[in-house]
């Protein structure tokens, strides 16, 4: 299994913790490199790439969540519009009945 597939199986909270850990390691590697103590300088590039992969996955999840929210809002808006239209059609279809019942109530309240 590739690294990206393994990372996608982790939760967002785990990925955020891993980002924090990797940023700390990257800082440590840079200090060691500046002091000439880093024996394996390729670790900096590996860490940066892994960090970029994780951040990409987190961004994808965020965008997917936003898309889902937008779809939900659109769906509820369409549903609400359909309900309002159905109610208006119901009122138009039963307008005569409603006017008669209103007139009866007004007559009853006058007596």
Residue span of the structural domain in which 9 resides: 3-110
For residue 7, count other CB atoms closer than 10 A to its CB.
Answer: 17
Domain count, the chain: 1
Q: Which of 12-26, 55-69, 92-106 has the lowest mean pLDDT?
A: 92-106
Pair of tokens at residue 52: 């970029």
Nearby residues of 51 by Cβ (< 8 Å), 6 or more positions away: 19, 22, 23, 26
Percentage of the chain exceeding pLDDT 70 = 97
46-81 pLDDT, tens digit per residue, is 999 999 999 999 999 898 887 888 877 877 888 888
Domain with residue 86: its CATH number is: 1.10.287.310
Nearest to 61, CA basis, from 111, 25, 11 = 11
d(CA 16, CA 102): 63
**pLDDT tier, 88 (very low <50, low <70, confident <90, very high otherwise):** confident
Percentage of the chain exceeding pLDDT 90 = 49
**pLDDT tier, 108 (very low <50, low <70, confident <90, very high otherwise):** confident
Q: Give the mean model confidence (pLDDT) for residues 20-47.
A: 94
Residue 111 has pLDDT above 70, yes or no: no
């Amino acid at each position: 299994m590739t690294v990206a597939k393994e990372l996608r199986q982790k939760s967002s909270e785990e990925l955020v913790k891993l980002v924090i850990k990797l940023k700390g390691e990257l800082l440590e590697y840079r200090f060691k490199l500046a002091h000439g103590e880093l024996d394996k300088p390729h670790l900096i590039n590996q860490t940066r790439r892994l960090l970029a992969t994780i951040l990409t996955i987190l961004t994808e999840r965020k965008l997917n969540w936003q898309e889902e929210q937008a779809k939900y809002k659109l769906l509820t808006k369409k549903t609400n519009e359909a309900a309002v239209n159905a109610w208006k059609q119901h009122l138009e279809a039963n307008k005569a009945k409603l006017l008669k019942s209103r007139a009866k109530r007004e007559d009853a309240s006058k007596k």
